[in-house]
A and B are shown apart, each in its own frame.
Chain A
Amino acid sequence: MSAVIEVSVAHRLGAFSLDAAFASDGRLTVLFGRSGSGKTSLVNVISGLIRPQAGRVVIDGRAMVDSAAGIFVPKHKRRIGYVFQEARLFPHLSVRQNLLYGRWFAPKAEDGGSRLDDVLDLLGISHLLHRQPGALSGGEKQRVAIGRALLAKPRLLLMDEPLASLDEERKAEILPYIERLRDGFGIPIVYVSHSIAEVARLATHLVILDQGKVSMSGPTAELMSRPDVPILSASAEAGAVLDARVLRHEPEHGLTVLETAAGPLQIARRSVPEGTALRVRILASDVMLSLKPLDGISALNVLPGQVTAIGAPHGDGGALEVRLDCNGVGLLARLTVKSAEQLQLKPGGLVYAVIKSVSIDTP
């Protein structure tokens, strides 16, 4: 099967040059990188706002750009939805008119598109229909902008840091909607972000950009548990992402037990029904390593695993990341160089990862 989205671009903009290639068939591909790494330029190439000097952009088997074959589909014919950093709602139209704007131009015949009611429902914006955009809060505007892009029946949805201009509370308000969009709408999404928390929560496929080049591309869980991706593993927020399922609740202890491929995990109680699939994020700095199974320790989670890789020291040379393989699941632990030496860790060695229940995050 060919990838949903295939991009390879060479483009020079003044002193900055974009020279990036990736392919993804993830439901939600995150383009991740520092500001200035070319994320937005790359999305603008995909959307057609920038005409690259050379390159190829293929969405769902259709070539949007192919400089070798002289193909350049103009932006209004690509059917690629775009949610900008600022909502960019039309100020002279009501929310309803904004939402339906793209539908005007979308093909009428095929009924593959989303219905207004579904979108209103998904985004929780039914009560805003008759307002003017100026009267909306930042979070509401962004939800309307997402709805507007969806209703244009896009083949692909681009989101350029849609949460960047919002405060923490508004972000928390919108994230669940984006998850629902990813899981329930069947439209592939390319999402630009420089936040590891957003990557951990949303991404199924991760593309890391650095100075206009793709430095790495692959499934999120795999990249996030690698010790040799400095932008991820050396950051304070480095950590592994695991897929988990709620096994049972232990109300008497205020705990929820999760089932993961690495073994059971006990975490602080979550109010979700049993059987729910969720993502668990375990920060590297929350994982301790032990050479023997431990008794008499307060931490509830001890996962056996094998050391697969040891990263280079970073920071002031005092810390490094160790990657473990726990029954096929990658886990990342941050140790001081000294403890790594004392434990004489080397690839292939057996260790036990110790994780406190309270520090396990379900983003």
Chain B
Amino acid sequence: MSDWLSPEEWTAVRLSLIVATTAMLASLPLGLAIAWLLARGRFWGKSLLDAVIHLPLILPPVVTGYLLLIGFGRRGPIGQFLYDWFGIVLSFRWTGAALACAVMGFPLMVRAIRLSIEAIDRKLEDAAGTLGAGPFWVFLTVTLPLALPGILAGMILCFAKAMGEFGATITFVSNIPGETQTLPSAIYTFTQVPNGDAGAMRLTLISIAISVAALFASEFLARLVGRRIAVE
């Protein structure tokens, strides 16, 4: 395998997997919270929050990337704060790539989780309440397990989106081999150099394989969980 792919190509594949996994896991807690808020909350500005969450889905990715650059760059207000207080640098680092991917995948994740939470019969949550479970325990023991298929679907969607993210990533953190050059950036680079076709094709095949595997994994997990829940 390692002689089939050049070390640079390997690096890009590994980096992409790390970035996508980080993006998926890091956005999960926030995604759950926002999805729950949108599904169950009643507060002022709910549709505004909904719109903001969905923005990356409709904005040109380059615009999202540019906004991230302005906000999270070394001199951006948030970027400076993160650097001064925690020593975290996002711009031109792989962590920045993960942030860009997470932002782009977030609406997909929230949407899937929100729909599955909305589908839960609230009467079951009431029943748990009368049995002595406080709101937190109701969420943990009833809402969360029943929403699991949607949560898994949301995670996989977010992961797949992160694997393919290009525009926002390259705008925010550029295309540095070994640091921010993910699969799509590497493919793009190959298409810009002479004789890069073979490399581009290899990475394309890998990209397709990973996407298909993710799709199958999500189908399999959803069926596994669904069978436990939907015997009803």
Contacts and interface: CB of A to CB of B under 8 A. Distances in A.
Contacts of B126: 49, 75, 88
A149 B131 contact: yes
B134 to A, nearest CB: 5
A62 to B, nearest CB: 15
Contacts of B228: 92, 132
A304 interface: no
Interface in A46-94: 47-49, 74-82, 84, 86, 88, 90-92
A49 B130 CA distance: 8
Contacts of A78: 130
Residue of B130, B133, B142, B231 with most chain A CB atoms under a 10 A cut-off: B130
B230 interface: yes
Contacts of B138: 76
A152 B137 CA distance: 15
Interface residues of A, number: 30
A135 interface: yes
Given A88-B123, A92-B146, A105-B137, A76 B130 contact: yes
A152 B141 CA distance: 16
Residue of B127, B129, B232 with most chain A CB atoms under a 10 A cut-off: B127
A91 B130 contact: no
B194 interface: no
B119 interface: no
Contacts of B134: 74, 76-77, 105
A101 B127 CA distance: 11
A48 B232 contact: no
Interface in A75-127: 75-82, 84, 86, 88, 90-92, 101-102, 104-106
23 contacts: A49-B129, A74-B129, A76-B129, A76-B130, A76-B131, A76-B132, A77-B134, A78-B130, A81-B131, A86-B123, A88-B126, A90-B124, A91-B230, A91-B231, A92-B229, A101-B131, A102-B132, A105-B134, A105-B137, A132-B228, A132-B231, A149-B131, A152-B131
